[in-house]
Amino acid sequence: MRKFVELAGGKDAPIVAIPTASSEADAPEYYEKLFREEYGCTNAVSLRIRSRADASRPDYAALARKAGGIFFGGGDQIRITGALLGTPVGDAIAEAFRRGAVVGGTSAGTACQSEVMITGEGDFTVIRAKSVETWRGLGFLPPDVVVDQHFVRRQRENRLLSLVLEHPDLLGVGVDEEAAIWVRPDGTFQVLGNSCVMVLDAKGASVSRQARDTGQDALGVHGLRVDVLLPGETYDLVSRTVGAPR
């Protein structure tokens, strides 16, 4: 969170929180208080967006467009994409990002960042095809990257592994609780926080399938690459290698 505030331009920078994912009525106040009291931000506001109509408000779009930092709160990521994609506020956030604003989020606010977005629906007790539901996300990460969250703490390896084996071109990035990835303009990310990030890469592996009566093929793999990155370590999303930036 401190890195987010720094990248946004510091404590006096305009920061916009979007608590759309949450079902809690006081979520807007929570995020404003968090930024103002915990991180000393003097110009932090929440956009109370519950619907596409809310995301069409010109005043909200103007705030998003001039923001130095845009932060998505936790909850259900489908609420974020359902309300924002193809709306004036959604377009303003994309414009701010292209201009250089930092976009971040926690939990559902992490999941929504990739173009292929895991919704949280499916059977995560198996490693099988068609066991993980995905929707279109906001697309602020490279298009071949899919991100999962609460990764080690909630033992979500099966769902990300199933998705990566079913779509080997996708690079799976599992971000644990108390960890974050700082994705930089050169296509690398650095792990921040106190826990780890796991990267699953099946692009060069041999993926196998065995048919099941349910239509959900069992998935196997030989040569899968798994990297577990600790705080301070970096990863290149373009070359899919651990280490320093290119």
Cβ contact 189:245 at 8 Å: no
**Integer Cα distance of 65 and 91 in angstroms:** 9
Report how far Cα 237 is from the mean position of its chain's Cα atoms.
Answer: 14
Whether 205 contacts 235, CB under 8 Å: no
Task: State the number of CA atoms in the 13 A half-sphere of 28 facing the CB.
Answer: 9
pLDDT in tens, the chain (246 residues): 999 999 999 999 999 999 999 999 999 999 999 999 999 999 999 999 999 999 999 999 999 999 999 999 999 999 999 999 999 999 999 999 999 999 999 999 999 999 999 998 888 899 999 999 999 999 999 999 999 999 999 999 999 999 999 999 999 999 999 999 999 999 999 999 999 999 999 999 999 999 999 889 999 999 999 999 999 999 999 999 998 644
**Model pLDDT, residue 193:** 96
Domains recognised in the chain with CATH numbers? 1-109 (3.40.50.880), 113-246 (3.40.50.880)
Q: Report whether 108 contacts 80 (CB < 8 A).
A: yes
Rounded CA separation 8/225 (Å): 34
Q: Concatenate the DSSP letters of all residues of 159-210 into one string.
A: HHHHHHHHSTTSEEEEEPTTEEEEE-TTSEEEEEESS-EEEEE-TTSEEEEE
Q: Are 93 and 31 in contact (CB under 8 A)?
A: no
Q: Is this prediction's pTM over 0.85?
A: yes
Tokens of 78: 């489908």
**In contact, 84 and 20? CB cutoff 8 Å:** yes
Torsion angle of alpha carbons 16, 21, 23, 27, nearest 10°? -20
Residue 133: strand, helix, or coil = strand
Residues 6+ apart with CB under 8 A from 12: 41, 42, 43
Q: Which active-site residues does the annotation give?
A: 107, 150, 177
Angle between helices 58-65 and 88-99 (to 10 degrees): 10
